[in-house]
Structure formats: structure tokens, C-alpha cells
């Protein structure tokens, strides 16, 4: 997982005890190091242990942050005492940074409330947040209003904030590769490039004929094709799969890899039904599964917004995401459902998997043209789901997030699948249908709904429903 770098501002107000800032600095930096964060902070040799109070402090802090602007992913404001709120907001204003901000305040000890040790950070945090809001800064709050940095609650806050920083920075600089046109029948995956671009998400398009043309120019003796063939065989069980089909997959994968590298593509959405099968002779599922498993999220049916959903979750968790259909009810349990795809799910989400042919499309184009799916049952355990959608009617990006459990309930079916249990699922389904969301949803085997909501809603300005 990418390490997050935080610019750290230690607030101080002169008539409060400065020794609290000296001790607080040591504690907060120790916790950040233990939790895997890199920091940019005024040196301890600067005035008042590197705290920010005066206009000179603000300018010094801002200049330091400017020097590291490409490195800083977020800012932590920590208040060992009341803190000088104008000094803090001036440092932010002068720096010109537009990154997530976490506001933390130390708690007072009820037994040490004399002038020598009293913090008043409880009150100072309100003043700080008031000024942040006045100056137009978005910010994140800790779970507890005041909290010891060594408290487990704060370490959870830090890890969630790290996820927020990764999502915001990643999406604001994201490049999605759309390979092929949207399948004609899939109007549900329409999206607005302009709305995505307004959040920094760019879409680079590639005609399907071009990638197939490049794949057909390659031969099985090319080094890239040989390497891709070996990678496929190492990735999944290929017993019974024709050598010709494996060769086609390898050539397709090598062509996509080359284009994605040349165009700095972070994630892809690829046309499938049914041009690839009819005119090339395989499904792209294995290649897409391998990309997703190596944190290059890939969605089928040219579902660009679905790819954004996958990529956001990947950024938050540092683990692969999958795209599935909300597909079936599970018996009569209103809180359970079957999730399914044909499938291109990444290996990381499977309990077990193998390569097979695509049973649905085979009825139309023939079995020999549909080898390359990755099929099996998903792992059991906790997961987060997310769907991003561009709503042209309201001119905004919308999303929903939530968490649930993949169960071990009996299910005998094909493709990539799992049984999920989500509290009050009928309300979630009403929300999805009532607001016209797509049938595709992204899954990640982690619990990251909170940082996803915070990143998308607070910092990207999207309309987000968090199902709890």
C-alpha cells in the first residue's frame, strides 16, 4: 500500500503552557511513524518547538509545504493546547494546498487543570474549525472530539484518513482507459466524461478494432506474448483450455498492456458482448482479472463509472476490487442476495478458481470462441460495496457505499459468485432502483465505507448515500 505523507501543523497559543506542545509533538510524531505515515513538519529548532502561531510561523510552514507540495497527500492539524486558529488557517492559505485536512485535539486531564497544565484544546478545536470553514477549507474530524494520540480510536481515525487521502489524490489524477464502445444493449452503463473530468478523472478512449489489430500483428514467438502466456498459466488452472485460445489471450493482454503503459492508464473498461468473441475468438476475462489483481482495475461492458468505483475502493484499501451484478435473491431471506459475474473477478477475491468458457455467450457465438473466464466462489467474510454514477439530469456525480458479509450459504451455479448478507438490504435495493443506479456494483474485501464516503462526499463534492 502506498505510504501517505502528511503535512503536520502543531497549533499553539502563547499564554497556554508551551511544554504541552513540546510533549505533544513527540507523541504525535511517534504515533504517525508507528502507523506508517511520512511527515513534513517545521523543525523542532524553529520557534516554540516548530509550532504555528504568528504570521511568521504561518509563512515558514507554508513555504515548507510548498517545497513538498507534490509529496504531501493530506494535512494533520494537532492541538496540544488551544492553538492559534488564525495562524493555522494562514499557513494553509499561504501554502496553496488543496488536500484533505484532519483536525485533532489533545484531551485535558481533569486532575491537571491549573494554569501550568491546562490545554483548553476542547474549546480550541471549535475555534479552529470555525476558521477553517470561514476560509473555505474542507476538513475531517476525529471520532472523539478530544483524544489521546495513543488511543485506538485515534489510530483508526488515522488509518481512515490515510485512505481518504489516497482516494482523493488518486481520483483527482486518475486516467481511465475505455477500450471499445459500450455494448448496444447496455444503456445502463452510459456516463458523462465531462462530469468525471470535473473531479479530475480523465477518460482515454481506444477503438476495439485498434487493439485487435495490434493483437493480430503479434505472434506467439514475441517476447511479450511468451511472457504473458507464462503469466496466464501461473495465474490460473488452464486444464482443457485450447492452446490457440491461450495464445489469443496472451496477444490481447500484451497489446492492452503496451497501450496502457504508453498512455499512463490507471484502470480500464473493456467492451465484451459480443464483438471480441465473434471477431477475435476469446473472452477478455482472464486478462482483466489479472489486471485487477495487480491493482490495475478493469471493468467489463465498457462500464467506465464501474471502473471508477473499483479504483476508488482499491485506493482506499490497497487491495484488488471486483465488479459484479446484483444478480439474484437468495431464497426468502430479505437481507441476502446472490452477486455474480461471468467472470473477470480478480484471483484475490476467490476461495478457489479456474479458467473456463463463458456459458452465457457460448449459446450465441459457440463454445470455442468463449474460453477465458475465471470462475469459482468468492471468499467469505466482510466486504465493502460501492457504486459511482454520473447523473446528467442533476449534473452531478452520485455514489452509494456500504458494508456487508459474504456468507458460506449453499449455492450451485456457474461464473464467479457469492452470497451476501447486508442489514436492511431491502431499503438499499429501494434506494438503488429509486435513484436509477446501475446493476453493476464494485466489491472489495475490506471495511472501507467510512473513508470512501468522506473522500467522495466531503472532498470531491459528490452526492453519497452511506447504507448503515
pLDDT band of 45, cuts 50, 70, 90: confident
DSSP codes of every residue in 217-238? H--TTSHHHHHHHHHHHHHS--
Q: pLDDT over 70 for what percent of the chain?
A: 100
Work out the number of other CB atoms within 10 angstroms of the CB of residue 188. Answer: 14
**Which of 42-46, 260-264, 435-439 has the weakest average pLDDT?**
42-46
The DSSP bridge pattern shows strands 371-377 and 336-341 to be: unpaired
Enter the C-alpha cell of residue 290.
489479472
The DSSP bridge pattern shows strands 321-329 and 440-444 to be: antiparallel
Work out the number of other CB atoms within 10 angstroms of the CB of residue 139. Answer: 17
Grouping H, G, I as helix, E, B as strand and the rest as coil, residue 122 is helix
Residues 161 and 4: their CA atoms lie apart, in Å, by: 10
The DSSP bridge pattern shows strands 336-341 and 321-329 to be: antiparallel
pLDDT band of 419, cuts 50, 70, 90: very high
Grouping H, G, I as helix, E, B as strand and the rest as coil, residue 356 is strand
Residue 436 has pLDDT above 90, yes or no: yes
Enter the C-alpha cell of residue 225.
506474448
Residues 169 and 201: their CA atoms lie apart, in Å, by: 11
195-225 tens-digit pLDDT: 999 999 999 999 999 999 999 999 999 999 9
| Dihedral angle computed from the Cα positions of residues 71, 73, 78 and 82, in that order, rounded to the nearest 10 degrees | 100
Place of cell 478457489: 352
The residues that bridge with 321 in the sheet, in sequence order, are 444
pLDDT at site 112: 79
Q: Which helix (H) or strand (E) holds 315?
A: helix 304-317
Enter the C-alpha cell of residue 222.
514475441
Q: Say which residue, 407 or 47, is predicted with more confidence.
A: 407
Average pLDDT of span 269-295: 95
Q: Are 178 and 302 in contact (CB under 8 A)?
A: yes
The DSSP bridge pattern shows strands 354-357 and 371-377 to be: antiparallel
**Which of 11-15, 35-39, 84-88, 342-346 has the weakest average pLDDT?**
11-15
The residues that bridge with 205 in the sheet, in sequence order, are 178
Place of cell 467472470: 343
Grouping H, G, I as helix, E, B as strand and the rest as coil, residue 34 is helix
Residues 249 and 142: their CA atoms lie apart, in Å, by: 48
Work out the number of other CB atoms within 10 angstroms of the CB of residue 98. Answer: 13
Q: Say which residue, 119 or 97, is predicted with more confidence.
A: 97
pLDDT at site 102: 98
pLDDT at site 184: 84
User: CB under 8 Å to 377, separation ≥6 — which residues?
Assistant: 350, 351, 352, 411, 416, 417, 418
pLDDT at site 362: 86
Residue 19 has pLDDT above 90, yes or no: no
Grouping H, G, I as helix, E, B as strand and the rest as coil, residue 277 is helix
- Enumerate domains of the chain plus CATH numbers: 5-172 (3.40.50.10940), 175-467 (3.20.14)
Enter the C-alpha cell of residue 62.
507554508
Enter the C-alpha cell of residue 13.
497559543
User: 238-245: long-range contacts at Cβ-Cβ below 8 A with a sequence spacing of 24 or more?
Assistant: 238/355, 239/354, 241/355, 241/371, 241/372, 242/368, 242/371, 244/281, 245/281, 245/282, 245/368, 245/371, 245/372
Amino acid at each position: 500500500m502506498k505510504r501517505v505523507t502528511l503535512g503536520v501543523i502543531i497549533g499553539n497559543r502563547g499564554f497556554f503552557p508551551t511544554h504541552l506542545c513540546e510533549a505533544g509533538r513527540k507523541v504525535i510524531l511517534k504515533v504517525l511513524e508507528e502507523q506508517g505515515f511520512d511527515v513534513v513538519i517545521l523543525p523542532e529548532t524553529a520557534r516554540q518547538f516548530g509550532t504555528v502561531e504568528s504570521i511568521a510561523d504561518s509563512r515558514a510552514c507554508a513555504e515548507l509545504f510548498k517545497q513538498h507540495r507534490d509529496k504531501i497527500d493530506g494535512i494533520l492539524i494537532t492541538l496540544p493546547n488551544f492553538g492559534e486558529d488564525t495562524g493555522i488557517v494562514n499557513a494553509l492559505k499561504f501554502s496553496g494546498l488543496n488536500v484533505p485536512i484532519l483536525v485533532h485535539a489533545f484531551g485535558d486531564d481533569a486532575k491537571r487543570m491549573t494554569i501550568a497544565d491546562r490545554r483548553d484544546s476542547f474549546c480550541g478545536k471549535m475555534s479552529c474549525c470555525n476558521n477553517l470553514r470561514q476560509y473555505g477549507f474542507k476538513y475531517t474530524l476525529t471520532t472523539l472530539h478530544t483524544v489521546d494520540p495513543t488511543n485506538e480510536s485515534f489510530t483508526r481515525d488515522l488509518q481512515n484518513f490515510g485512505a481518504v487521502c489516497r482516494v482523493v489524490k488518486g481520483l483527482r489524477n486518475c486516467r481511465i482507459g475505455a477500450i471499445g464502445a459500450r455494448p448496444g444493449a447496455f444503456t445502463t452503463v452510459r456516463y458523462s466524461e465531462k462530469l468525471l473530468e470535473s473531479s479530475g478523472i480523465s477518460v482515454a478512449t481506444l477503438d476495439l478494432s485498434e487493439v485487435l489489430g495490434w493483437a493480430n500483428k503479434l505472434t506467439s514467438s514475441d517476447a511479450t506474448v511468451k511472457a504473458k502466456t507464462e503469466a496466464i498459466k501461473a495465474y490460473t488452472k488452464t486444464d482443457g483450455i485450447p492452446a490457440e485460445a491461450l495464445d489469443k489471450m496472451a496477444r490481447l493482454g500484451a497489446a492492452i498492456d503496451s497501450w496502457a503503459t504508453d498512455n499512463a492508464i490507471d484502470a480500464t473498461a473493456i467492451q465484451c458482448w459480443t464483438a471480441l468473441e465473434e471477431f477475435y475468438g476469446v473472452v477478455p476475462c482472464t486478462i482483466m482479472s489479472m489486471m485487477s489483481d495487480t491493482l490495475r482495475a478493469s471493468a467489463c461492458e465498457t462500464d467506465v463509472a464501474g471502473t471508477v468505483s473499483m479504483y476508488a475502493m482499491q485506493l482506499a484499501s490497497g487491495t484488488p476490487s471486483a465488479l459484479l451484478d446484483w444478480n439474484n435473491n437468495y431464497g426468502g431471506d430479505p437481507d441476502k442476495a446472490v452477486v455474480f459475474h461471468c467472470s473477470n473477478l480478480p484471483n484475490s477475491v476467490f476461495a478457489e478458481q479456474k479458467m473456463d468458457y463463458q456459458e452465457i455467450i457460448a449459446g450465441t457465438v459457440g463454445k470455442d470462441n468463449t474460453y477465458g473466464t475465471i470462475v469459482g466462489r468468492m471468499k467469505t467474510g466482510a466486504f465493502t460495496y460501492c457504486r459511482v454514477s454520473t447523473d446528467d439530469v442533476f449534473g452531478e456525480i452520485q455514489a452509494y457505499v456500504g458494508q456487508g458479509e459474504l456468507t458460506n450459504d449453499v449455492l450451485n451455479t456457474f461464473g464467479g459468485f457469492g452470497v451476501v448478507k447486508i442489514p436492511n438490504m431491502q431499503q438499499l435495493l429501494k434506494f438503488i432502483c429509486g435513484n436509477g443506479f446501475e446493476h453493476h456494483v464494485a466489491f472489495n474485501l475490506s471495511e472501507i465505507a467510512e473513508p470512501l464516503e468522506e473522500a467522495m462526499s466531503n472532498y470531491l463534492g459528490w452526492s453519497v448515500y452511506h447504507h448503515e
